Chains A and B, each alone.
Chain A
Amino acid sequence: MGRFITRRVLQGILVVVVAALLIFLATFALGDPFASTGEKAVPPEVAALNRAKFGMDQPLVIQFLHYLGNLFTGDLGIDFDQRRPVTELIGAVLPNTIILGLVAMLFLLLFGVSAGILAAVRRYSFWDALVTVLTTVMIGIPVFVLAIFLVANVSGIGPFPPVPRSFTVEVPWYFDVLLPAFTLAVIEAAFVARLMRGSMLEVLRADYVRTARAKGLPERTVLGRHAVRNSLLPVVTFVGLTLGSYVGGAIITETVFQYNGVGYLLSRAIVNNNAPVIMAVVIYTVIAYVVLSLIVDILYAYLDPRIRLN
C-alpha cells in the first residue's frame, strides 16, 4: 500500500508539472497584457516597466522554471489587474467553493444513490420507470439552462437572495448556497442514479447475494450490508471525479449565480486575460484532481479487498 501511494504521488507531481507547462504556454499565447488599457495604447516605456515588474522580460524558459519553482513553495505570484497575491485571491473564495461542493455532494448522494437503489430493488415497477424518465430529462438539461432558469424564477423570492445581491445585505450561507448546489447536484444525480441502478442489478444477481438470502438474512441486511456496499464501487469513482470538478470550481453555475467561488474567479480571470490567476486556478484544479483520484483509489482498495491484495 505504501509503495502504491508513493508511486501515485510521484505520478501526480509529474501531471502537475506537465499541466503547468501547458497552461503556461497557453496563457502566453494570449499576447501582451500590458500593451493597452482598453482601446488606448500604453506608451512602450510604461508597458516595458510592467513586463519587467512581472518578470516577462525574461526568456520563456526562465519564466517557466521560475514559475515552477515558486509553485512548489506555494507562491503563485500577483495578478495582472489589481496586483494582489493570487494565493490571497484563491484563499478568499476557496471556502465558498468547498461549502458549495460539499452541499452539492450531499444532494447528489441523497438523491442519486437512493433513486438508484429504489429503481433497482423495484425493477420494472412504476418507480423504476419514473426514475428512468426523470434521469433522462435531467441528463438532457444543460447546466446553464437550469441555472439561468433558477436565477430568473426562484432567486429573489422568499429566502433566496436575488442575483446580484447587494453586498451589504448579509444572507445566511445556507440560503446563498442552496440554489447553486441544487443546480450542480441535480444533473449529476441522474448519472449517479443510473450508475447505481445498473451496478445494483448486477450485484443482486451475484452468488453471494443469493447465498445471503438463502441463509435467511432479512432483506434489509442483504441489501444494506451486501448489495449496496458492493454496488457503490463505480459510483465512488464517478463521485470522486465529480467532487474534483466541484473543487475546481463549478464555472458555469458559479458564474450564473454570481457565487463567489473558484469557478467564478476563473471565469472572470479568463474574460480579463489575467494570466496568473488562470494558471493558478487551473493548476490548483489539477492538484485537486490528482489528490482526489488518489483518495478514490484508496477507497477502492478499502471497498474491494481484491484490489488491495493485488
Chain B
Amino acid sequence: MRGRRAAASAIALTAVVGLVLTGCSQQSNTGTSGDAAQAGAGFPETPVPEQVPGKPGGIFRLGITEPTAIDPYNVQESEGSLVAKQLFTGLVQVQPNGDEYPGVAQSWESNDNCTQWTFALKPNQTFSNGEALTSASFKRGWERTSAKASASEVSYHLDQVQGYDEMQAGTAQQLSGVNATDPNSLVVSLKEPNCEFELRTAHPALSPIPTVAGGADNATYNDLPIGNGPFKMDGAWRHDQGIRLVRNDAYTAGEKANLDAVEITITPADTGADTEYNGFRNGQFDWARMPTPVYQQAQAEFDPQGKWLSRKTAGINFLVVNVTKPPLDTVAARKAVSMAIDRAAITAGVFQGGQSPATAFVPPAFPQTYQPGVCDACTFDPERAKQLAQEAGFQPGTEINFQFNTGGGHEEWTAAVRQQIEQNLGIKVNYEGVPFRDLLDNQQSPTVTGISRLAWSADYPTAANFLTPLLATRSIGAASPNDPALGDNRGRYSNPEFDRLMDQASATKDEAQRDDLYKQAEKIAIGDDLALIPMFERQQYRLINTEKFANLGMDFYENPTLETITLK
C-alpha cells in the first residue's frame, strides 16, 4: 500500500469512484455468506508453503500502485520495496518469518560494545551489467542516499552511522564511518551502540550501487536501475503503466530466480484493491489484494482451492494517546478507555473477521518477543472500565477528543470505538474526521488532547523498530513540551526506566538477553503505563495462483516471494 500520500486528502470525486466500485463488487457478492470467519479473531493463517522442486520459467503477473521510487536512494513504501528488493541484494536479507540470512555479506560481526561492524563480502560479486561489486559499491550507495543533494526521505535509516550528520549538512562528501579500503570487507562505525545494526542493511536505501548510477538526480538510472538482485529491469519503468523484470542469470549472491519474468501492472492508488481482485478473477493477475467487504466470500471461494493466503504481518493498528494532558494523563483513565472497547465485536463486524484484536504492542510476527496479553487492559470489561473511570475522576460531563483521518477506510471502526467508549463510560467523545495531513499536524501539536488513530509496520524485523520510535523519550522530537512532537512518539510518552531498558537492549550482544530486555520494556510501557492503546494486529490476505505456480508465499514486507516461485 502506498502509504505516503495515498492516505492523504482524497478529492470527493475519486472517493466517489472508489465507493461505487466497492459497492459494485459488494453487490455481486450478495447471497454468498460462505464460511464465517472465527468471530472477531481474524481468519486463520494459511500454512507456509513447503518448498518443493519446481520447473523454472513462467511469467508472474501482479498489480501495484505507482511507487515513489525504485531507485534505492528513496524507496519507501511496500510497492517500491517490491521492485527494489528484486533488483538489489543488500548485505543481509530477511526471510518471510523475519529471520536474517546472508545477502552479499557472507558473515558479519560487531565489536564488544556494538559500535563497529565488519561485514565480510562474498567474493566475485557483480552487478547485472558486469561491473564488479565490492565494499566500495556499498559505500557509494550509502553516500548517495545520505548526500544532502539527494534529499532522500529514507536516508535516516543511516542516521546511526558516523558522518551521517555531516553528509546531511552538506559539509562532507563521504561517510566518515564507512571504511571500504578492503574490497571484500566493509567496516562501519556507529555513533551509538546498536547490536542489531545488520538488520538495517536489509533496507533498500542501504543497497550497493554501481558507478553508472551517478547522483540521485540521474533520471535515467532512477527509471532503469542496474543492481545485483535476482531480477533486472526489462526496459525502463513505464510510469503509471508498469514495470517488467526479467531473471538476472548472472546472480551470484544467492540462488538464481526461477521465473523468467515478473510483469507488474500499475493500478490506481485508491481503487487498487478492487482492480487487483477483479484482475485475479479474470485471470490477469497471479497475486491480488481484495477490498475488505469481499473477504468472507473470497475466502469461502478460494480457500478450498488453495488460492487463499492469510498471514499475520509485522504491523499494528493503535490509538495514540496524549499522556501528558488531562483527561488521559493517568493510567486509570487510559485503561478505562481501553477496556471499554470491544475489539472482538469490531473485528467481526467491521472487518468481516479480517483482523485480530491486539493484546500486545509488538505483533506476533516477532515470535521471540511477542507477549500476548501483556496489555492486560486490552480485554473488553465494561465493569472494570467503569471502576477505572471513576478512579480517574471521569464525570458524566467529561469529554475526550478522538480524531481519525478520512478517506483511509477508518470511518467505520473508529465510529464503533467512539460509540463503545460513550456507552460504556458514560462520557462524551468529541469525534472528528480530518484529512490525514491535519491528523498528523494535530498529533504533533503541543496543545492537542485525547486519542487519535495511527498504524505502524516494521522497517526491520526487530521489536525495537516498534518500541523505540513510538515510545522512547528521544522519539518525541520536541525540545520542550511546548514544541510540536516531530518524531513518531506523538503521544509524548516518557519513562526513564523504559528508555534505560531500550538503550541497554541496543547495546546487548546476546540475542536472548536482548529480547528479554525488549519484553521488560514493553511490559512497562504497555502493560503498566498503557502509553498507547493497541487495537488490531495487522493481518494480510492475498489471492494467489497456485494452479500455475509453486513455492509462492508472502515475504516479510507483505510482497510475494518472487525469488522462490517456480512453475508447477
- Enumerate chain A residues within 8 angstroms of B266, measured Cβ to Cβ: 164, 167
- Bound complex: CA of A148 vs CA of B275, how far in Å? 12
Asked if residues B17 and A144 are in contact (CB atoms below 8 Å), the reply is yes
8 contacts between A and B (CB under 8 A): A40-B469, A43-B159, A156-B282, A267-B14, A270-B10, A271-B14, A272-B269, A273-B9
- Bound complex: CA of A38 vs CA of B151, how far in Å? 17
Residue B123 CB within 8 A of the other chain: no
Residue A168 CB within 8 A of the other chain: yes
| CB contact under 8 A between A82 and B14, given known A31-B437, A272-B5, A273-B5 | no
Asked if residues A31 and B441 are in contact (CB atoms below 8 Å), the reply is yes
Residue of B whose beta carbon sits closest to that of A32: B437
Q: Chain B interface (Cβ within 8 Å of chain A)? A: 2-11, 13-14, 16-17, 20-21, 24, 61, 63, 66, 68-69, 74, 76-77, 148, 151-156, 159, 168, 217, 219, 222, 238-242, 244, 263, 265-270, 275, 279, 282, 284, 435, 437-438, 440-441, 444, 454-456, 469, 477, 486-488, 490
Residue of A whose beta carbon sits closest to that of B78: A38
- Bound complex: CA of A37 vs CA of B437, how far in Å? 11
Asked if residues A144 and B269 are in contact (CB atoms below 8 Å), the reply is no
Asked if residues B76 and A49 are in contact (CB atoms below 8 Å), the reply is no
- Bound complex: CA of A270 vs CA of B270, how far in Å? 11
Asked if residues A167 and B241 are in contact (CB atoms below 8 Å), the reply is yes
B3's partner among A37, A83, A256 (CB-CB below 8 A) is: A37
- Bound complex: CA of A32 vs CA of B148, how far in Å? 19
A28 to chain B, nearest CB (A): 11
- Enumerate chain B residues within 8 angstroms of A270, measured Cβ to Cβ: 9-11, 14
CB-defined interface of A103-115 with B at 8 Å, one 1/0 digit per residue? 0000000000000
Contacts A84-B222, A271-B269 aside, 16 further interface pairs with beta carbons under 8 A come to A31-B438, A37-B3, A38-B76, A42-B153, A49-B151, A50-B151, A82-B239, A145-B20, A163-B275, A164-B63, A164-B275, A167-B265, A258-B268, A267-B11, A272-B269, A273-B437
Asked if residues B456 and A39 are in contact (CB atoms below 8 Å), the reply is yes
- Bound complex: CA of A260 vs CA of B217, how far in Å? 25
Residue of A whose beta carbon sits closest to that of B443: A41
- Enumerate chain A residues within 8 angstroms of B438, measured Cβ to Cβ: 31
Asked if residues B8 and A271 are in contact (CB atoms below 8 Å), the reply is yes
Residue A36 CB within 8 A of the other chain: yes
| CB contact under 8 A between A43 and B156, given known A255-B268, A274-B5 | yes
Residue of A whose beta carbon sits closest to that of B240: A260
- Bound complex: CA of A152 vs CA of B435, how far in Å? 31
B62 to chain A, nearest CB (A): 10
Residue of B whose beta carbon sits closest to that of A42: B153
Tell me the chain A residues, 216-258 only, with Cβ under 8 Å from chain B: 251-252, 255-256, 258
Residue A45 CB within 8 A of the other chain: yes
B168's partner among A34, A41, A49, A252 (CB-CB below 8 A) is: A49
CB-defined interface of A155-189 with B at 8 Å, one 1/0 digit per residue? 01000001111111000000000000000000000
- Enumerate chain A residues within 8 angstroms of B444, measured Cβ to Cβ: 35, 41
- Enumerate chain B residues within 8 angstroms of A268, measured Cβ to Cβ: 66, 240, 268-269
| CB contact under 8 A between A41 and B486, given known A46-B155, A82-B239, A166-B242 | yes
- Enumerate chain B residues within 8 angstroms of A165, measured Cβ to Cβ: 265
Asked if residues B24 and A38 are in contact (CB atoms below 8 Å), the reply is no
B242's partner among A36, A39, A168 (CB-CB below 8 A) is: A168
Residue A69 CB within 8 A of the other chain: no
- Enumerate chain B residues within 8 angstroms of A40, measured Cβ to Cβ: 3, 456, 469, 488
Asked if residues B437 and A144 are in contact (CB atoms below 8 Å), the reply is no
Residue A306 CB within 8 A of the other chain: no
Total chain A interface residues with beta-carbon distance under 8 A: 55
Asked if residues B441 and A144 are in contact (CB atoms below 8 Å), the reply is no
- Enumerate chain B residues within 8 angstroms of A256, measured Cβ to Cβ: 17
Asked if residues B153 and A41 are in contact (CB atoms below 8 Å), the reply is no
| CB contact under 8 A between A167 and B242, given known A49-B148, A270-B14 | yes
Residue A33 CB within 8 A of the other chain: yes
- Enumerate chain A residues within 8 angstroms of B76, measured Cβ to Cβ: 37-38
Task: Kindly list the 6 A-B residue pairs having the minimum CB-CB distance in the complex, ordered from nearest.
Answer: A38-B3, A167-B242, A31-B437, A167-B241, A272-B5, A53-B151
- Enumerate chain A residues within 8 angstroms of B10, measured Cβ to Cβ: 270-271
Asked if residues B284 and A162 are in contact (CB atoms below 8 Å), the reply is yes
- Bound complex: CA of A42 vs CA of B76, how far in Å? 11
Residue of B whose beta carbon sits closest to that of A52: B151
- Enumerate chain B residues within 8 angstroms of A145, measured Cβ to Cβ: 20
Residue A92 CB within 8 A of the other chain: yes
Residue A75 CB within 8 A of the other chain: no
Asked if residues B275 and A41 are in contact (CB atoms below 8 Å), the reply is no
- Bound complex: CA of A89 vs CA of B222, how far in Å? 15
A258's partner among B9, B159, B267, B455 (CB-CB below 8 A) is: B267
A88 to chain B, nearest CB (A): 9
A166 to chain B, nearest CB (A): 5
Residue A57 CB within 8 A of the other chain: no
| CB contact under 8 A between A164 and B279, given known A43-B159, A83-B217, A271-B8 | yes
A255 to chain B, nearest CB (A): 6
Asked if residues B7 and A38 are in contact (CB atoms below 8 Å), the reply is yes
Residue A95 CB within 8 A of the other chain: no
B545 to chain A, nearest CB (A): 14
Asked if residues B153 and A148 are in contact (CB atoms below 8 Å), the reply is no
- Enumerate chain A residues within 8 angstroms of B13, measured Cβ to Cβ: 251-252, 255, 267
Q: Tell me which of A252, A258, A260 has the highest count of chain B C-beta atoms within 10 A of its own C-beta.
A: A258
- Enumerate chain A residues within 8 angstroms of B66, measured Cβ to Cβ: 81, 268
B553 to chain A, nearest CB (A): 24
Residue A214 CB within 8 A of the other chain: no
- Enumerate chain B residues within 8 angstroms of A53, measured Cβ to Cβ: 151
A142 to chain B, nearest CB (A): 9
A3 to chain B, nearest CB (A): 41
- Bound complex: CA of A20 vs CA of B270, how far in Å? 27
Asked if residues B488 and A38 are in contact (CB atoms below 8 Å), the reply is no
- Enumerate chain A residues within 8 angstroms of B16, measured Cβ to Cβ: 144
- Enumerate chain B residues within 8 angstroms of A38, measured Cβ to Cβ: 3-4, 7, 76-77
Q: Tell me which of A34, A36, A50, A152 has the highest count of chain B C-beta atoms within 10 A of its own C-beta.
A: A36
- Enumerate chain B residues within 8 angstroms of A84, measured Cβ to Cβ: 219, 222, 239
Asked if residues A36 and B14 are in contact (CB atoms below 8 Å), the reply is no
- Enumerate chain A residues within 8 angstroms of B5, measured Cβ to Cβ: 33, 81, 271-274
- Bound complex: CA of A31 vs CA of B270, how far in Å? 20
- Enumerate chain B residues within 8 angstroms of A36, measured Cβ to Cβ: 4, 440
- Bound complex: CA of A250 vs CA of B275, how far in Å? 20
- Bound complex: CA of A50 vs CA of B282, how far in Å? 42
| CB contact under 8 A between A271 and B270, given known A82-B68, A167-B238 | yes
A46's partner among B9, B152, B282, B488 (CB-CB below 8 A) is: B152
Asked if residues B156 and A42 are in contact (CB atoms below 8 Å), the reply is yes
Residue A30 CB within 8 A of the other chain: yes
- Enumerate chain A residues within 8 angstroms of B239, measured Cβ to Cβ: 82, 84, 89, 92
- Enumerate chain B residues within 8 angstroms of A89, measured Cβ to Cβ: 239
- Bound complex: CA of A38 vs CA of B63, how far in Å? 20
- Enumerate chain A residues within 8 angstroms of B437, measured Cβ to Cβ: 30-32, 35, 273
B53 to chain A, nearest CB (A): 29
A210 to chain B, nearest CB (A): 49
- Bound complex: CA of A252 vs CA of B76, how far in Å? 29
- Enumerate chain A residues within 8 angstroms of B217, measured Cβ to Cβ: 83
| CB contact under 8 A between A44 and B477, given known A36-B440, A272-B8, A273-B9 | yes
| CB contact under 8 A between A148 and B20, given known A37-B153, A44-B486, A270-B10 | yes
- Bound complex: CA of A205 vs CA of B282, how far in Å? 57
Q: Tell me which of A82, A164, A251 has the highest count of chain B C-beta atoms within 10 A of its own C-beta.
A: A164
